[in-house]
Amino acid sequence: MAEKVLMKGNEAIAEAAIRSGLKCYFGYPITPQNEIPAYMAAHLTKKGGTFIQAESEIAAINMVYGASCTGARAMTSSSSPGISLKQEGISYLVGAKLPAVIVNIMRGGPGLGNIAPSQADYFQSVKGGGHGDYRMIVYTPETVQEAADLTMKAFDKADEYRNPVLILGDAILGQMMEPLIFKEPSGRTFDKSSWKLGNRKDRPSHLINSLSLSEGVVEEWNWELKKKFDLMTEKEMMVEEYLTDDADLVFVAYGTSARICRAVVNQSRKEGYKTGLIRPITVWPFPSDVISKCTRKTKDFFVVEMSLGQMIEDVKLAVLGRASIHFHGRPGGGIPAEPDIMKQLKEIMKK
Amino acid sequence: MEHKIIFAGFGGQGVISMGNLIAYSAMAEDKNVTFYPAYGIAMRGGTANCSVIVSDDTIASPVIASPTVLVAMNEQSFDFFIERIQIGGVILANSSLVKKKPARDNIRSCYVPVNDIAEALGNNKMANMAMVGALLKSSGVLKLDTVFKTMQKTFPAKLQKFMDINQKAMQHGFDAAELN
């Protein structure tokens, strides 16, 4: 068995990316994700890859676009304000059907905010921070192990769908060290010869862009993209249900908030409260069906986020008025505290 | 068994190193462990802290609301975290700098003059290692021997020459710790 190692979430993501065959990393420094570019600078080049500290976030995402056009596995990472700058590029990647892996280790906002953990980029991540009708798979790991596993998966899914994939973590995930074991990458290969750019030789020319001014072409292109998004919705949703079978109240939370809720579930069960947790591992596609099904037996849902309440809107759409929804949120870098959630839980359960 | 330890002190006192060493050692004992540092704007003379959880079971949250042990390397840390210690938990204080006693009687205390122990060994940088020794004794979180072996494994080559004095400091801290 592979050796257990102790690593920060940021480093684990970087190492997993390199093991997945990453060829090009482009980034611009910002706390709390700096360990990713630092790790890439130290290790990616030794594996024959290219590391560039770009002149800006916008340059970095467009370098990803360029590298991806040639068929190379390409990646960028940043934190909230930097990810805002990349939105145009992300929209272009989807429009041009280009694979890429993007990592957002979220910090407090809006604006330059602070460097504390946050989950306030949910809307931006799942509702399209960039322009146009687009979707991408958004993974939300809660442990360092899962961060590494999902990074490997992200590269495969990006290539499989020719679409960017986002890894959405908060600063706790990025900065925390935990033991993990790197799994073997899938080894799946993807034939990109039908579309990638490069030395043409005798083949017909390829064109990658996201612009067409001819009537109806972009609409038709959108319908094509929709087929892909529908397939992702059908096949790529990931969720964990924890002790939901007999639960009177079910928490819905992702990432670090989910870990905090898990601790509350464990503690409250010791005190006789039947609680459970639904943890979306992909926040797009969102596990609406799982939540919807849960309303048959659970009449209280408790959403916990490190924001003023963003994912709660998707929970409401899944619940459709069939159960009560409660909320605990901490914006601007605040971290939900177990005792506070516990107190609120007891008040809800009293009613 | 789950130990939730907050290490806190001035930047430069080796607070993060203590947490790191416990995290690596916990892994060597095949325990579950999380290490979460205060990051970003740390500097020498500023405040530094990290949260380490060592558990036989899966660790739910890496964030510590109430620690089972507070390791306070200075008085500011003592003041900041003392009320957060779990009932029945332990305040482990560097009595060379922490002169206050807890104003609550539902926790246990262990005062060890780790700066003095380090100075007696001729190297004041060893205070954090003496504190790790005291932590091991007062909490039983890990075996002293495991930590010794982990140091041998994880210290970079240029620091190996300081192994003896580090281990001596740890042993002295271990021996001096008495839980009240």
Instruction: Output the 3-class SS for chain A.
Output: CCCEEEEEHHHHHHHHHHHCCCCEEEECCCCCCCHHHHHHHHHCHHHCCEEEECCCHHHHHHHHHHHHHCCCCEEEEECHHHHHHCHHHHHHHHHCCCCEEEEEEEECCCCCCCCCECCCCHHHHHCCCCCCCCCCEEECCCCHHHHHHHHHHHHHHHHHHCCEEEEEEEHHHHHCEEEEECCCCCCCCCCCCCCCCCCCCCCCCCCCCCCCCCCCHHHHHHHHHHHHHHHHHHHCCCEEEECCCCCCEEEECCHHHHHHHHHHHHHHHHCCCCEEEEEECEEECCCHHHHHHHCCCCCEEEEEECCCCCHHHHHHHHHCCCCEEEEEECCCCCCCCHHHHHHHHHHHHHC
Measured between alpha carbons, how far is A299 from A347 in angstroms, rounded to an integer? 15
CA distances from A13 to A76, A103, A186, B54 (A): 11, 9, 16, 23
Picking from A4, A115, A260, the nearest residue to B63 by CB comes out as A260
For A262, the closest chain B residue by CA position comes to B60
Start-to-end CA distance of chain B, whole Å, equals 21
| Stretch 258-287 of chain A: residues touching chain B, C-beta under 8 Å | 259-260, 262-263, 265-266
| Beta-carbon contacts of residue A159 (< 8 Å; ≥ 6 apart) | A73, A99, A188, A190, A192
pLDDT digits (tens, 9 = 90+) for A297-318: 999 999 999 999 999 999 999 9
Picking from A6, A115, A172, the nearest residue to B23 by CB comes out as A6
Biggest alpha carbon–alpha carbon distance for chain B: 45
Picking from B23, B63, B65, the nearest residue to A172 by CB comes out as B63
| Stretch 72-111 of chain A: residues touching chain B, C-beta under 8 Å | none
Bridge partners of B8?
Answer: B49, B72
CB A277 within 8 A of CB A253: yes
What's the mean per-residue pLDDT of chain B?
Answer: 94
pLDDT digits (tens, 9 = 90+) for B51-89: 999 999 999 999 999 999 999 999 999 999 999 999 999
Picking from B33, B37, B65, the nearest residue to A179 by CB comes out as B33
Interchain proximity A4–B27, CB inside 8 Å: yes
pLDDT above 90 coverage of chain A, percent: 97
* CATH architecture of the domain with residue range A4-235: 3-Layer(aba) Sandwich (3.40)
Query: What are the structure tokens assigned to A344, written together?
Result: 């609120």
- pLDDT tier, A92 (very low <50, low <70, confident <90, very high otherwise): very high
Measured between alpha carbons, how far is A316 from A309 in angstroms, rounded to an integer? 11
Interchain proximity B34–A176, CB inside 8 Å: yes
| Residue A255 confidence (pLDDT) | 98
Three-state DSSP state, B26:
helix
Q: Where are the domains of chain A?
A: 4-235, 239-350
Measured from the Cβ of residue A234, the count of other Cβ atoms closer than 10 Å reads: 9
Is residue B73 left, alpha or beta, with left meaning phi > 0 and alpha meaning psi from -120 to 50? Answer: alpha
Interchain proximity B33–A176, CB inside 8 Å: no
CA of A3, closest CA in chain B: separation in Å? 11
What's the CATH number of domain A239-350, 3.40.50.920, 3.40.50.300, 3.40.47.10, 3.20.20.80? 3.40.50.920
At CA A143, angle to CA A141 and CA A148, rounded to 5? Answer: 70
| Residue B40 confidence (pLDDT) | 67
The angle that helices A9-19 and A35-43 make with each other, rounded to 10 degrees, is 40
Whether B38 has a pLDDT exceeding 80, the answer reads: yes
pLDDT digits (tens, 9 = 90+) for A317-342: 999 999 999 999 999 999 999 999 99
Three-state DSSP state, B114:
helix
Which class is B2-176 in CATH?
A: alpha beta
- Smallest CA-to-CA distance from B25 within A171, A15, A173, A177 is with A177
**Stretch among A51-55, A345-349, B11-15 having the lowest mean pLDDT:** B11-15
| Residue B42 confidence (pLDDT) | 60
Residue keyed to tokens 């596990």: A287
What's the mean per-residue pLDDT of chain A?
Answer: 97
CA of A338, closest CA in chain B: separation in Å? 7
Query: What are the structure tokens assigned to B173, written together?
Result: 């801290």
Measured between alpha carbons, how far is A309 from A105 in angstroms, rounded to an integer? 18
Average pLDDT over residues B128-144: 97
Secondary element (H or E) of residue B36? strand B32-37
pLDDT above 70 coverage of chain B, percent: 97
Residue keyed to tokens 């529908």: A230
Interchain proximity B63–A256, CB inside 8 Å: yes
Interchain proximity B61–A337, CB inside 8 Å: no
- pLDDT tier, A1 (very low <50, low <70, confident <90, very high otherwise): low
Q: Is the ipTM of this complex over 0.85?
A: yes
CA distances from A326 to A184, A196, A279 (A): 41, 48, 16
CA distances from A142 to A148, A169, A170, A262, B172 (A): 11, 8, 9, 11, 39
Interchain proximity B60–A266, CB inside 8 Å: yes
